[in-house]
Amino acid sequence: MPQSVAIIIPCHNESENVPLIYQELVKTFRDNLTALQAQIWFVNDGSSDDTLQQIKQLQAKDDQVHFIDLSRSFGKEAAMYAGLSTAKADYYAVMDADLQDPPAMLPDMYAALQDGYDMAGAQRTDRSGEARMRSFFSDLFYKFINKASQTQIVPGARDFRLMTRQVVEAVIQMTERNRFSKGLFSWVGFKTKYLPYRNIERQHGETSWSFMGLLRYALDGIIDFSEAPLTFVSILGIVSFVGSFFALIFIVVRAAIYGDPTAGWPSMVSIFLMIGGLQLFALGIVGRYIGRIYLETKRRPIFIAREIK
């Protein structure tokens, strides 16, 4: 009996891409992965178009197609967790529905697992087709998080990967509500091989990731896997205190020499504003961590499924 692999595909308004990714997967497994029996798991993450109807049409003609229909949009991270925790197989793959993750890489990933690796991931070597500003901030994020965190994330690494069941069981054991899968995949360890490939643009539709959405996602990743922001504001507070102390001495000495204390009010106001700004900045960062703790203590489910089939 052939071993099985569950392909987890989060979908949010991907009605045009669902049939295309299905066709590519069928072709890949028919031509290059006959040793594996594929289960294709689409996770409908609160789509407002006819994504679910497209999935159901595929399921009607192929009993290897399954779906999880979430009760609302919980986000890609929750959709991935839903698929990984629901599907049962020997191997698991995670990939996007927009064909930016080429199914043609799956045979090479499977070969890596047969060579003794526990996980094989895709690493994008360029960002052709993306805005330069977006690429710049992406590179900056990887540099910062790898210096600030003990969990190293490979630059350009995608969520697209093939894993053994052991890896997936380790990932789903981490039931945190605020999930940053790139960090989680690295944190669990295991022997991993990254396969380079050039960027591929979306086939249809527009990405649901705005610049601000990506920025929030990056901040979530930094906060989830590093205490560097807390250390930074602590050092900043010490530097601010020392600087303000010497500034105060300067103002007092100047007033004693020149006998005109009212002339120092602009300096005092500047110092107050500087300290107040630093305090608000520090409180904002601390508040993000406290907010994380607050959400985790609620123990809300990561996702709610309306239908699993």
pLDDT tens, residue by residue, 222-234: 556 556 666 666 6
4-14: b (≥16 Cβ within 10 Å) or e: bbbbbbbbbbb
Distances 304 to 11, 82, 113, 163, 283 between C-alpha atoms, Å: 15, 9, 32, 25, 33
Distances 273 to 171, 213, 240, 266, 277 between C-alpha atoms, Å: 45, 30, 11, 11, 6
Span 105-111, average pLDDT: 89
Span 32-48, average pLDDT: 87
8 A C-beta contact, residue 38 and residue 62: no
Q: Which of 263, 300, 289, 84 is nearest to 188 (CA)?
A: 84
Q: In what order do the strands lie in the sheet with 157-164?
A: 192-197, 119-124, 157-164, 91-94, 3-11, 36-44, 65-70, 305-308
Please tell me the predicted confidence (pLDDT) of residue 41.
93
Both tokens assigned to 117:
């690796």
Categorize the per-residue pLDDT at 100 as very low, low, confident or very high, splitting at 50, 70 and 90.
confident
Digit-coded pLDDT (tens) for 122-154: 887 766 655 566 555 566 655 555 565 566 666
User: Which of the pair, 305 or 279, is modelled with greater confidence?
Assistant: 305
User: Which of the pair, 215 or 95, is modelled with greater confidence?
Assistant: 95
Please tell me the predicted confidence (pLDDT) of residue 258.
66
Percent of the chain residues past pLDDT 70, beyond the cut: 63
Please tell me the predicted confidence (pLDDT) of residue 157.
74
Please tell me the predicted confidence (pLDDT) of residue 92.
93
User: Which of the pair, 140 or 23, is modelled with greater confidence?
Assistant: 23
Span 58-66, average pLDDT: 89
Please tell me the predicted confidence (pLDDT) of residue 8.
92
